[in-house]
Structure 1
């Protein structure tokens, strides 16, 4: 009864257009009134106490760091480096977009931020060179999803907090999968560019051109080194690393690149605040939703149902992945992580999967949701930048979505792709 009331009310509210944060809170309240004897004040208590977390502070700080770097000249330097490295290939601008997104992902930790920062430069550039605008928007939106896989990743932070899993270990585990996703997207882009005869720009770079490009972007490339190096050397925690990233971004933007002024700094803080507020609202009501699930022992019921189907790890993970793929279409990644981690993590560990490995599988699955309608946040950002309809971009996205699904299956079948670096660094 409780499960039915909770989920039916939640999806009913979403279907009529109620914002997801409100849908989470309202469905929780509705269920507590009509299907449980729990005190109504507990929903507010859980919502507020959930935000009183030092680890959670990393999220607004990484958002701020990403915005500061975007406005401070980091994006164009990363784009120049990517263009030098892969711009000479068939469909070089598409490859440059993907590679630059991978670089920026190691800074921002956010999919939409990556699309906005890279897409604002690359979508118009591809369109001007004769690329199909639907393809340009699709490749940018898909590449932006790498932003939640390559560390630092905001969804990894949430998974670590909710699941009690090492955030540092999750960051390390995301490196190879993130690179793999980028490589597969480049292969798909190459095939499409070859078939459609998209133009080739530039020439094979000389050694000195590569050195100059790295030198031009060296301060931008140091950011992930400082963040990850500081965490794994023990100098600071993931939250402290986010604060360090903000300070570093200000220093290089103001004193090194000299592209930041007081007006841009104000704009950066304003933009980061406007992004953080809805994220925090979603997190708080997601925690209340998850609290009701745990009180009613719903995670245990669902876990028993899934393991009753099969206790084989691969079959179980394929079932969970299919479920997460569908969830990602309708629920934003942070809400999905908060709600589903307490449900699905026990199932994964019950069939023999390492928690860190499952975290990677979960986030990679949900990352596909960034480019799948109707939610598809990256999709809407790319559509806004390119002025191309969602329908046209969605058609161009099909081969990229298939490629990402294939990557998820590979990650399930080969756990060491996720666990290799954490096992070396943490043991």
Structure 2
């Protein structure tokens, strides 16, 4: 049964069918072939969506769209440029740092690219950076978003793997800071070797203070979100709702740029993005249920534990597997299909569920930068109108800090577990 399911899925994927159609149609065919009731299709799909943590997904998407509509990204970018000053490669460093700040709002790599990509690339091109380098920095920096809270992939992983969403969101903070530091270090090395341009911005202390005052409401959004999670006042769904209310408030009252027309556009974009994500969630749950009927998770668990009982060795094996999967599967679909299969085996071997969740998501975010299904690559080609081979050439140097951060997070469990255990205890 599983072989037929996978064969149908790969055949549909090969002919270019959308990932949700590949998952749902292949599952439906196998269910009918096995003589199971057709009503199972709707029951299992709806059960997958009946999840409280998943309510946070559309709310975080809406919050990011509302804040983007107010123009806060431009204020943040200008402020950080003023602070970094005239060091070599400053605008590239600013791009990474602003991605970290904005990731505390958006929770998704593609949202970061959509909100910041054009601003980052245009600023770097204006300073004399090569377009390939500018695109590479932007795409690599967008991987921070799904690691730092709020993170839509982490929330979905938590709902699938039965892990505390709050703990898993907090577990991503230190790895995201590590990734940010390594990306900035890589830019500093490239700036020194290749003589990257200095920033032309000249800011007096008064100008910096003025821009900081303007940016304070936007900077408080991630503080509110993370503070709510750390304090235990809010769960992921509640904090997402509070973030939406806060984004609406500052957009209307503080920045006075959030009009009804912009709110309508943000709502339409949110509905479209949410529908795409939840369609994949529903069909992937159906696909995973069919695999479970054939006892695939148990068989994979036995196979992995037969290879080794060392948690680090198993993590490295799964890392290689997920890097390959990330090249051919969309990240959310990969989480929904693979997490229920491999998570029980690694947890049984002694891998901490929080560390595994971060390693899992980080792997798949790197997959967004690899063809043939690298969605971040394709999105940046739309923004820059560059051929994808030039974009890939710009991204290649940044695989060094990305893979190094993955290796460190895999080897040092405390990077993922220390903060949530300390705060939640």
TM range (shorter): over 0.9
Please give the residue correspondences for 1:310-325 in structure 2 after superposition, counting only pairs within 5 Å: 310-325=308-323
Match of 1:372 among 360, 370, 373: 370
Q: Let me know the Cα RMSD of the aligned residues.
A: 1.7
Q: Could you say which residue in structure 2 is the equivalent of 1:88? A: 86
- String of CA shifts for 1:194-221, please: whole Å, max 9, x gaps: 3332211157978766655543321111
Q: Could you say which residue in structure 1 is the equivalent of 2:419? A: 421
TM-score (norm 2): 0.96
Distance 2:356 2:401 in 1: 20
- String of CA shifts for 1:392-422, please: whole Å, max 9, x gaps: 1112211212321111110111111111211
For the pair 1:252 / 2:253, whether they are aligned, the reply is no
Distance 1:192 1:384 in 2: 26
Q: Could you say which residue in structure 1 is the equivalent of 2:19? A: 20
Contact 1:109–1:148 (8 Å) recurs in 2 = yes
Change (3 A) 1:346 1:199: same
> Secondary structure in 1 aligned to 2:351?
coil
TM-score (norm 1): 0.95
Count residues in correspondence.
Answer: 425
> Secondary structure in 1 aligned to 2:193?
helix
Distance 2:399 2:37 in 1: 44
Contact 1:101–1:143 (8 Å) recurs in 2 = yes
Moved more, 184-193 or 343-352: 184-193
Distance 1:139 1:180 in 2: 16
Q: Could you say which residue in structure 2 is the equivalent of 1:194? A: 192
Q: Could you say which residue in structure 2 is the equivalent of 1:411? A: 409
Contact 1:147–1:153 (8 Å) recurs in 2 = yes
Q: Could you say which residue in structure 1 is the equivalent of 2:30? A: 31
Give the Å deviation of 1:333: 1.4
- Runs of 5+ unmatched residues, structure 2: none
- String of CA shifts for 1:240-277, please: whole Å, max 9, x gaps: 11111111101111110111111111111111111111
Q: Could you say which residue in structure 2 is the equivalent of 1:61? A: 59
Distance 1:324 1:216 in 2: 42
- Runs of 5+ unmatched residues, structure 1: none
Distance 1:212 1:312 in 2: 55
- String of CA shifts for 1:87-146, please: whole Å, max 9, x gaps: 532111111111111100010101101011111211111112211111111110111111
Moved more, 132-141 or 189-198: 189-198
Distance 1:49 1:296 in 2: 20
